[in-house]
Amino acid sequence: MKQFLFLFFLMPLALLAQKEKPPLQKGDRNDQNRSISNKEVTVAGEKPPITDYLIISQKRDTTYLDTTLTMAKDFKFNYLRQDDFELMPFHNVGQPYNELGKSFDLDLLSPRLGSRARHQNYYEIDDVFDYYVPTPLTDLYFKTVVNQGQQLEALFTTNLSPQFNFSISYKGVRSAGNYVNTLTSSGNFKFTSNYTSKDKAYRLRVHSVFQDHLNEENGGLEAASLQGFIDDEANFQNRGRLEPNLTDAQSLLDGKRFYIDHDYEIIGEKDSTSYYSGRIYNKAYYEDKYYQFSQTSADEDFLGDAYISSNLQDKTNLEEGMIEAGVSYDHHLLGFYKAGVARHKYNYGYDRLINQNSGVINNRLIGELYQFKAAFEKRIGKFDVTANGGVNIAGDLNGQFITGQASYKFKDVAVKAGLAISSRAPDFIFTLHQSDYLNYNWQNSFNNIEKQELSFLIDSEKYVNAQVTFTTLQDHVYFAQSLVTNTNNEITGYNALPLQASGDITYLKIKLNKDISFLRYFGLDNTLMYQQVTQTDDIINVPDLTARSTFYYKNRFFKNALLLQTGITAKYFTAYHMDGYDPVLGEFYSQNTENLGGFPMIDLFVNAKIRQTRIFFKLEHANQLFASNTDYFSAPRNPYRDFSIRFGMVWNFFL
């Protein structure tokens, strides 16, 4: 209901906003209008995309609102609104996604809170975009859920003048799920504003974000129900009859952030033959968030011994703020340079001390970091070269990173090569954690995680899109499975412990994509990913091969008023030791006892576009109706969703 109330109050803003079309502004030197859709089957009567409605990233790269109907749009029509090829969703909308492919942060200087499995729908700073629109724009997204609920996202943005834009959006999801104790309820509220003075000397961007993500946690199926599910017993085909490991637990990720980024030009000249600009800049943010696991009664068989028997509540809080100031210089011959210093303060922890036989678990990690950051961009010959770096020059934690990229564009192929080196302290959850469960209390002194990565990217609509990354890790920190046993040494439950790898790890990922059109109206979109890990112990576990193939038909009907896109998508990944999920931590952990995967997921879809409205209708996991077994999982003890019928739409208003 709160999603629809938000939409009700949003619509009057569109009616009150001005309708005069302001002239477009020239952006930064690296602002370029780029399509975010892939080229595929085109049919007569298709209109060119609208390119006047700009979307601006935190790096001031600019794309435009894409209202076309493509296979890329079908792949992004999900809870995260991004292509989830490298992800494996849990059965219910709003639950975590397991990872079929790995990616590593390489441009951070300080630790994060942790509970990363619950952050997949959490808006970080780089996930917030600004807008420039000639007329008011409303973007509405709606999709049905698995059971009893809905998901809705509404965005409204307008330029009150050519210099000032604001946007307001809300994303809400509520879904009961088909299994016991799997309800999800989340809300993401976001407000952004950006301003540029008439002489373009002063630029300002601000945003505020309020987010809450509530999940009931059932710990997966208990042993008898798990076996009944695998054997496809008639009594368990009603998923509400399957007994979970946890019946009264839930987790909540809650956060708020306030952010400002502004700069002022102190020297500059712009004419037809030369360009230079020198600016001073300042950015700052404050963020307060927490992850909380709560349970009515302790379940010691599944999660181990507990200090208390009822009303368990583990609340982990991180409060942090950063202020940065510096200068930038942009010259049409010399390139773009940026350098600044930042002060970062953090306060992580709990409101109590825990005294164990092995020692006292402290309650807080409080500190500050002084950082230096720099960036460089230049076109050297026919190569575009970029570099970024940062280092903690003083403070309580060491850390540094440097990244560099060089790109070259041929007639039909764009090539990019990159190098990144990173050293950073592990997320705070690895260093300090407190819980009402005994086994979830620790205080560690881990070394920095060292990472190096080489990457190579080919972007070609004519030939193939290819991505190759080779990553090496030293002192990798991870969660490993720990078994809970009873007095008879029988396994009754599972929890996770933080460990640091002693040996080097190398990780290779090769990803290929090609969309082939034939017979005018037909297409075949193929994506293939190969991965190989070299390691002493099985720490990073991924499938060797992941593939997705979509065969589709696309054409126009009813005097070109309706664009139809229909087909079938098949996805498959080889069996591997799939990561387990720990609800107390909100983290995935490495396990080497259960080999899961090796099953197909086949979806049938019918999509349509009428004017600026895109309609999606999908039969998810349709092959489950004819499967001879039900051995399909998103994580150990957590089944993937059964066959379901889902539909929804994306609707754009241009006033």
pLDDT band, residue 47 (cuts 50/70/90): low
Spatial CA neighbour of 384 closest among 354, 353, 416, 356: 416
Task: Encode pLDDT of 581-625 as tens digits.
Answer: 999 999 999 999 999 999 999 999 999 999 889 999 999 999 999
- The backbone torsions φ and ψ at residue 438, rounded to the nearest 5 degrees and listed phi first, read -60, -40
The per-residue pLDDT for 349 is: 95
Please, which pLDDT band fits residue 39 given cuts at 50, 70 and 90? low
On the CB side of 288, how many CA atoms lie within 13 Å of its CA?
0
Cα-based angle 553, 555, 561 (whole degrees, multiple of 5): 145
Say whether pLDDT at 21 is over 60: no
* Token duo for residue 315: 């609340």
| Local confidence band at 48 (pLDDT 50, 70, 90 cut-offs) | low
pLDDT band per the 50, 70, 90 thresholds, residue 51: confident
pLDDT band for position 352 (cuts 50, 70, 90): confident
pTM value is 0.90
CA-to-CA distance for 426 and 538, rounded, in angstroms?
A: 20
pLDDT at 12: 39
Whether the predicted pLDDT of 2 surpasses 60: no
Domains of the chain: 2-654 (2.40.170.20)
Q: Are strands 184-196 and 442-443 parallel, antiparallel or unpaired?
A: unpaired
pLDDT confidence of residue 43: 65
Length, in residues, of the chain: 655
Rounded CA-CA distance 439/444 in Å is 14
DSSP state of 576: B
pLDDT band at 630 (very low <50, low <70, confident <90, very high): confident
What pLDDT shows up at residue 174? 97
What does the pLDDT read at residue 508? Answer: 98
The pLDDT of residue 42: 64
Q: Is the pLDDT of residue 19 over 50?
A: no
Angle, CA of 297, 89 and 509, to the nearest 5°: 125
